[in-house]
Amino acid sequence: MSAAPHFHCEELLRTATVVVCDLQCDGSAPHQEPTSPEPAFLFPYRGMYVRHCGDDPVVAEAGQVLFQNPNEATRFSHPIAGGDGTLWLQIAPMMLQELVPRNLCVQDSMNFSIPRLRIDPRTQVLVSLLRHSLKEQIAEPLEAESLSLTLVHRALGPATSLAVDATRSRRNLVDRTKLVLASDLSKRWSLAEIGAAMCVSPVYLTQVFQQVERIPLYRYHLRLRLARALDLIATVDDLTAISNELGFSSHSHFSAAFVQLYGRTPSEFRDSAVRR
């Protein structure tokens, strides 16, 4: 994979089974997505960007897996400042055929028929554990391969994934709302402020958001902030500083929300990520 000056690709693992790369961009300019002759999975873990493929742009965020088809020409743009990061993962073709449900593919091919799926919070934890353990070189190749296969299996499983199903205009409204919320993770938004930014009524916005995302707007905003915390915890010592940066009223509020979503405290997650 080649990289523009503002785009960096770090290969974390390459075996006969999987390839894992960390893609990071400073967000200063649009760029092309690296192409590959085989399908790949993209798990955004930091920031938010827009992926342009065909005539239907997709807002990429930490609660999703994006699908890259073979030799697919795709462009990234960055409406939100601060840059972004994505874990790029490729599985050997024979194993991929066992993992990917046929209903996600175009008939008689390994081309994905949809651009993305939502993933649940526990799958987000797997993304973070895999990335941190490879970055810190504390995972043996066998463990990293197993984590990668588990991650893809869970991301594609019917119990933990959900296709985005709504009209294009409603998806666009929700995607624009996500970009507004991501522009300032520390801000305590009100429904009136968000509705005014979107030029729609708060009632209509909350109804559409619930229909498209299958979760309430307020809960999505909470998950957005906690996803950023998941990225920061392994490298930032001061958990109180993280909670303040992300707009939580107190460290105890932050910790309780983290446990409820991810099933472990921030300290427990840090221990599992960096002291495996």
**pLDDT 10s digits, 171-205:** 999 999 999 999 999 998 988 899 999 999 999 99
pLDDT tens digits for range 94-134: 888 888 888 888 877 788 988 999 999 999 999 999 999 99
Straight-line distance from the first to the last Cα atom of the chain, in angstroms, rounded to the nearest whole number: 30
Whether the pLDDT of residue 229 is over 90: the answer is: yes
**Where do you find CATH 2.60.120.280 in the chain?**
7-162
Other Cβ atoms within 10 Å of 19 Cβ, number:
20
226 — pLDDT class (breaks 50, 70, 90): very high
Between CA 97 and CA 99, with CA 98 as vertex, the angle to 5 degrees is: 95
Whether the pLDDT of residue 275 is over 90: the answer is: no
Q: Which CATH number fits domain 168-274: 3.30.1540.20, 1.10.357.10, 3.40.30.10, 1.10.10.60?
A: 1.10.10.60
- Residue 139 burial (C-beta neighbours within 10 Å; 0-12, 13-18, 19+): buried
Of residues 207, 267, 195, the one with CA closest to residue 233 = 267
Predicted local distance difference test score (pLDDT) of residue 160: 57
- Residue 70 DSSP class: T
pLDDT tens digits for range 8-22: 899 999 999 999 999
Q: Which residues contact 80 (CB under 8 A, 6 or more apart)?
A: 27, 47, 48, 49, 179, 182, 183
Looking at CATH, the fold of the domain delimited by 7-162 is given as Jelly Rolls (2.60.120)
Alpha-carbon distance of 42 to 101, in angstroms, equals: 17
Alpha-carbon distance of 52 to 262, in angstroms, equals: 31
- Residue 273 burial (C-beta neighbours within 10 Å; 0-12, 13-18, 19+): buried
Q: Which residues contact 143 (CB under 8 A, 6 or more apart)?
A: 133, 276
Of residues 81, 47, 45, the one with CA closest to residue 63 = 45
**Where do you find CATH 1.10.10.60 in the chain?**
168-274
Average pLDDT value over all residues in the chain: 88
Predicted local distance difference test score (pLDDT) of residue 161: 53
Helix (H, G, I), strand (E, B) or coil at 94: helix
The conformational region for residue 214 under phi > 0 = left, psi -120 to 50 = alpha, else beta, is left
